[in-house]
Every structure is written in structure tokens, then in C-alpha cells.
Structure 1
Amino acid sequence: MVKREILSSDGSLMLVKVHLAEGFVGDVDQHPEEQISYIEKGKVEFEVNGEKRILAEGDKQYIPSNVVHQVKVLEECVILDIFTPIRKDLVDQT
């Protein structure tokens, strides 16, 4: 289960709150926007450009532009994602 809530999309920055269920495995993703993910709750494994890291509450992950990445949820989590510029594909989904 994935639930996204766009909290802000002003100027060239976008803030998105993402709720993910335990056991969720995201698609391999790649996009031109830079991204910072802050783990508000839970535990996830981020794979960024082939490197895996386990992140828990309070940790963050930077994802450069056009870098392949994927998330696996180890414990139900809430992630705050910041993108620049705004991800038009996410805005169009709402």
C-alpha cells in the first residue's frame, strides 16, 4: 500500500508525505528531480545506485538527479520526500 499526500508544491520545491505498508517493495525508479527522503516513522531499505542502506526514524537519504533507486519497507513507515524541481507526474496523479 502506498498513500501519497502532497503537502506543498510551491516554487521549485515539493514536499510529499508517503505512507508505506510493511513488506511493500517499490518499483525501481529514476527521475530527473533531486530527492531527499526523511524517515519520519518506521524502517526501510533504500538502494541508491547499487548501494543499500537501512534507514530508521530520523535518518535521511539523498538521491541525485537520474540515479536509479528502490525502497523496501521493513516496518510500516512514513517518509517525507522533498523534490526539486516539482515532480509533475505526482501532481498530475492528484
Structure 2
Amino acid sequence: MVEREVLTHEGSLMFVKVALKKGFHGDVDQHIHEQVSYINKGSVEFEVGGVTSVLKEGDVQYIPSNVEHRVKVLEDCIILDVFTPIREDLVE
């Protein structure tokens, strides 16, 4: 249900394409990395620091460092994520 493709990671930035299927519910996540998520296709519900927002194509979600967050996929979607610093756990 989750397909990730690291598009680039240089300097302190990482750019990742994530494909998610409708109905996917992510576990609560929390990491030191700042994250910006751009909804390229579809729609999702993001919960960030206890605040829930529905995002659709063209919307952007900022996730600060060390803030709990999770995603619920409302329609098949593609999200473009930017992380800083680089998430070493996603580098092959």
C-alpha cells in the first residue's frame, strides 16, 4: 500500500515520491526531520500535532521536527515529501 521512491538526497535535503492506496491508515510517526508534503494527486487526511486537515491535489502540509503525525488516505494519492536533514532510514 506504500511505495516510496527517493528522487534525490543532496546536502541536507531529501525529496521522496510516495504512492499510497485509498484506505491506507498510517501509524503515528515522529522524527527529528522537518517535512513538507505536497499532494500531487488524490486526497488525504493529515493529523499533525493533534490538528486534522483534509488535503487535496495542490495542497501542502508542513510537519515540524519531533511532532507526532499520521495520514489517512481518502483517494489513491501521490505525495512529494521533502525532508531535512536527510532521512538515512530511507537511503538504500
TM-score (norm 2): 0.99
Q: Which runs of 4+ in 1 moved over 2 A?
A: none
Q: Which residue of 2 aligns with 1:66?
A: 66
Q: Which residue of 2 aligns with 1:88?
A: 88
SS in 2 for 1:9: strand
Taking only the aligned residue pairs, the percentage that are identical comes to 68
Name whichever structure is richer in strand by fraction: 2
Matched, 1:52 2:52: yes
Q: Which amino acid aligns with 1:39?
A: I
Q: Which residue of 2 aligns with 1:77?
A: 77
Partners of 1:68 and 1:88 in 2: CA distance: 19
**How many pairs are equivalent?**
92
Q: Which amino acid aligns with 2:41?
A: K
Q: 1:73, CA displacement in angstroms?
A: 0.0
Write the deviation string for residues 2-32 of structure 1: whole angstroms up to 9, x where unpaired.
0000000011000000000000001100000
User: For 1:16-35, what aligned pairs fall within 5 Å after superposition?
Assistant: 16-35=16-35
Q: Which amino acid aligns with 2:76?
A: E
Partners of 2:71 and 2:3 in 1: CA distance: 15
SS in 2 for 1:79: strand
Partners of 1:31 and 1:7 in 2: CA distance: 20
Unmatched segments (≥5 aa) in structure 1: none
Partners of 1:89 and 1:5 in 2: CA distance: 13
Partners of 2:26 and 2:14 in 1: CA distance: 20
RMSD: 0.4
Q: 1:90, CA displacement in angstroms?
A: 1.0
Unmatched segments (≥5 aa) in structure 2: none
